[in-house]
Chain A
Amino acid sequence: MYRRAFRLQLRRPDAVQSEVDNEIALHLELRIAQLMETGLSRGEAARIAQERFGPIDDARELLGSLATTRETHMALTERVDALRQDLAHSMRQIRRSPGFAAAVIATLGLGIGANATMFGAIDQLLLRPPAHVADPARVVTASMLRKTSPGPQLVLSFAIYHDLRQTPAAFETVGLFRGASMDVGSGVETKSVSAALVSADFFRALGTRPALGRFFSETEAGDAPAEPVAVVGYDYWQRELNGDAGVIGRQLVVAGRPHQIIGVAPRDFRGLGLSPIDIFAPVTDGMSAQVIAGLMRQRQTFAYIIVARLKPGVSTRSAEEEATAAVISGYRQGGATEKQVAAMSPRIALTSALPRDARRGQPESRVSILLGTVSLFVLLLACANVVNLQLARAVRRRREIAVRVALGVSRSRLMRQLLLDSVVLAVAGGALGVLIARFGGAFVARALLGASVAQIPATDPRILAFTAFATIAAGLVTGLLPSREVLRSDLATSLKEGAKGSASRETRRLRFTLLVAQSALATVLLVGTGIFVLSLRRIEAVPLGFTPDRAAVARPNFSGRRSAELPVDDATRRAQIIAQFERLRQAALETPGVSHAALALTAPFEGSYAVGFRLPGRDSVPVTRDGGPYYNAVSGDYFEAIGARIVQGRAFTESDQAAGSRVAIVNETAARLWWPGESAIGKCIELDDNSPRCSEVVGVVQNTHRAQIVEDEFVQLIVPLAQAAPLAPGVVLFSVNGSTERVVAEAHRRMQAAEPGFPYINVRPLDALVAPRLRSWRLGATMFTVFGALAVVLAAIGLYSVLAYDVAERRLELGVRSALGAATNQLALLVIGRGVRAVVTGAALGLVIAVALGPRVTALLFRTSPRDPLVFATVAMVLIVVAVAATLVPAVRAARVDPMEALRGAP
């Protein structure tokens, strides 16, 4: 017991050594005394004693070091012991009140889970640097701004890539790539996988090293096409090639041609994006030297993302200046006049590959940050709730604490114990939170970023670290206030009053404040829910000009190349393609549930084409800010197939053939802009194609959206496919009645069977093209609803528990009042009044906060005011109803207090 009093005190090493010395000295002394008793002289006895003991200096040293390690060991053991005892005590506390523990764990679990979920999304979107990209701050992507076009050009052309390579002072390496889908395998085994077409210096610009083998050489991905080669992604290698290290050198059929696998990309490498890439192929893959030579000179074919690595120490701005100068001189060399260059005044802008720069301002980023903030609110609310529960319980525990203080347990020890109690609960909550984040994270990632995005498990070290931090913080926050409260109480009074004791005035005020804060937070979140749901409803109701839920699009893949719609100068080849498409159209049309099917160059949300044109007799023609006119070439049933309405005139018919008179259909905006106040029917348009002849406008179609749900008006021109030579169709469109999934699957089967020559036909409901545009809106509304509901439930539980404890605590007072003749409904009102007062105060505060925060979310809303009065009113009502409901049970209990029992002090 001697050591116990000094527990945790590590003795100094010299003190330990002197203990050893004392022990040896005593031993020798006793031995000498014993020997001298047998008649030996002192000197002789000392000699024998030392001999029997062994070398003394060695022993001193050895025993000293053993003793030192023993001391360290024991100090540690005692610490662990103390912690174990405290933990055991905490566990006993939990077992003693399982209901309370469950409430705290569930509350914190939900709060922590919500945060871990949102942290995962934010981390993936905005924090985590792209994997396997060396020094990503120096990696930039280029975009071009021109005065002649409204927005920045994010995809650029080969010629610009070559310009940027002529900037030795700015960039170490310049690479380019393009995302694509490619067919791998042959025959029925063919699968469409995500691919990246890259230049040889793409990997060098990113500083990525292969997991196996090597990446492309300049000749393999450059001007001189060599033997076809490919690099496979790590996941693909594991999944489809069994992670076999012997794949290097093996053949893989990509886009219909055998490719030699030369390398495996490192695990989780996704370029600069979030989606896994299965196959990397040279950007010139499958092209003839002639095609490549032409492509290299292309200045206006914008299809490639240019990535570059800045030289060390070069600022983005000076690199931008140099790149801009290079591009301008490139335009001049390409034959542009000074006037044209001045009109465009092209400028190159560079964005770092760090996600916080690269994805700044994107709707996904903004929504995830907003929801992250909201989840933090939820955690705060959960903590407030737990503090309230703890405070209520602290009143009950005061007697126990007082007894322990009286027994001599130090206050710091008690404080530690109480904090540990709440940390233990928080850790259990954190574990629950990880579980929630596991499912929630998968849901959010899918809802926010789409199914193609790589999943990051909730057990990812970064997410776990965040969760652990949130857990400990929650544990300390929820433990600190209540334990201070408990320890402040006066010992003698506590012992006397015991468990009956009522909360101090300050405790009560604190609890009331917490209730108000909770209601305020819940109000803010509910307002958020309201306006985001309203905004989603409104954006979903935007008429797109066609019926995405009752139409589908099929896009056949021509041996890996995505489209056939590029000019096909060979008339026979064109006729062949049209015949193939016609057979696909027939197959679709014969599918039960399909009433219309048509061919088209492109479909809404599938990409658009622009065309030049003139109106006879006019110098200039008004177009919209968005550019255009956008162009499509379609067969007869197109408008019925996608559900677009002809508002004036007629649709195309079978008689609109190549030989017939040329006709066109314009959209409402074009009709209004070009012939204001007159009918467009019968007017003449001269298209900039091979033979500038008059195309007569025969119909006006309602405006259909081109690529976005929220987009500017634009002008559109549609011609019969038969008159659009040399363009060939790119898609088959068909209407769908009944179960979309079944009809689409059946149509897909029939089309694939009708045209086995196409390795792969991609058939999707038009909805699937539109849905990604709704993702961030839908996620915002969904998560706000989840968080809002959570907030209200938490606030209601908080209110209920506080009032319930209140009533239990004030039994005496209520009993006295009852005995003095207070009516039972008066007593109930007393309780309800207190609850409702807290909620009303909180709600008012919350509405004020919501008004103040409103402008911050305006950008995320669609035609919805963040201060929508209807939403505000509804929220206020919901809160009051919830408040009354939550106070009802405690109020009834208060009304039923039996004065006799209460006054007698019976439980």
Chain B
Amino acid sequence: MADRSPVTKGTLDVIVLRALAWGPMHGFEIVEWIDRTTNESLDLTDAAVYQALYRMERRGLLRAEWGTTGNNRQARYYKLTAAGSAHLRDETKRWVNYANTVTDLLTAPIKPQR
């Protein structure tokens, strides 16, 4: 908990989309999924996740519908739209490429200058 990484807005969006790749979830479930998956290593308020959800809903990457939880409570369930899935795919690819490049660069053996 002491060493939490900050999260940029764009990255948070992809993470939330990734959470929803499993199927529709409500807000609390998404937050829980992120915490579980990252071992709570991201510096993130719960409200930030909701902001991301609302923003992406406006952009048409997500759609929300009211539904019922296992405990028979009314909750707002979020679901990926086609545009959201595409966005997730593209962003993931971009992120992986970027990360690979940086990783390669940083881990390449140091050669003496000629």
Contacts and interface: CB of A to CB of B under 8 A. Distances in A.
B45 A26 contact: no
Given A22-B74, A69-B58, A63 B28 contact: no
B31 to A, nearest CB: 8
A138 B54 CA distance: 60
Interface in A686-700: none
A66 B45 contact: no
B54 A63 contact: yes
A70 B48 contact: no
A22 B74 CA distance: 9
Interface residues of A, number: 25
A67 B48 contact: no
A63 to B, nearest CB: 5
Contacts of A53: 45-47
A63 B26 CA distance: 15
A62 B57 CA distance: 14
Interface string A148-171: 000000000000000000000000
A892 to B, nearest CB: 56
Interface string B25-52: 0111001000000000000011110110
A30 B28 contact: yes
Given A53-B47, A55-B47, A26 B65 contact: no
Interface in A32-87: 52-56, 58-59, 62-63, 66-67, 69-70, 73, 77
| Most chain A C-beta atoms within 10 Å of own C-beta, residue among B31, B46, B66 | B46
Contacts of B76: 19, 22-23
B47 A23 contact: no
Given A2-B65, A26-B26, A63-B51, A73 B58 contact: yes
Contact of A67 (B45, B54, B66): B54
B73 interface: yes
A31 interface: yes
Contacts of B45: 52-54
B46 A54 contact: yes
B89 interface: no
B58 to A, nearest CB: 4
Interface in A792-840: none
B66 A2 contact: yes
B12 interface: no
Interface string B50-87: 11001101101000011000000111100000000000
Nearest to B57: A70
A863 interface: no
A95 interface: no
Nearest to A65: B54
A625 interface: no
B27 A23 contact: yes
Contacts of A58: 47
A27 interface: yes
Contact of A31 (B28, B55, B57, B60): B28
Contacts of A22: 74, 76
B58 A59 contact: no
B54 A27 contact: no
Contact of B58 (A23, A26, A70): A70
Nearest to A33: B71
A59 B50 contact: yes
A492 B55 CA distance: 49
A756 B31 CA distance: 97
A56 B54 CA distance: 16
Contacts of A63: 47, 50-51, 54
A59 B73 contact: no
A788 B81 CA distance: 59
B46 A52 contact: yes
B54 A66 contact: yes
A26 B75 CA distance: 7
A59 B47 CA distance: 6
Nearest to B60: A77
Nearest to B58: A70
A3 B65 CA distance: 9
A607 B22 CA distance: 94
A314 B31 CA distance: 79
A63 B28 CA distance: 15
A62 B74 contact: no
Nearest to B76: A23
A3 B57 CA distance: 14
Contacts of B66: 2
Contacts of A2: 65-66
Nearest to A54: B45
A54 B55 contact: no
Given A3-B65, A23-B27, A26-B26, 13 more contacts: A22-B74, A22-B76, A23-B75, A26-B27, A26-B28, A26-B73, A27-B50, A53-B45, A54-B45, A55-B47, A56-B47, A66-B54, A77-B60
Return the 4 tightest CB-CB contacts between A and B, nearest first: A54-B45, A54-B47, A59-B47, A66-B54
Interface of A: 2-3, 19, 22-24, 26-27, 30-31, 52-56, 58-59, 62-63, 66-67, 69-70, 73, 77
12 contacts: A2-B66, A22-B74, A24-B50, A26-B75, A27-B46, A52-B45, A53-B45, A54-B45, A63-B50, A67-B54, A69-B58, A70-B54
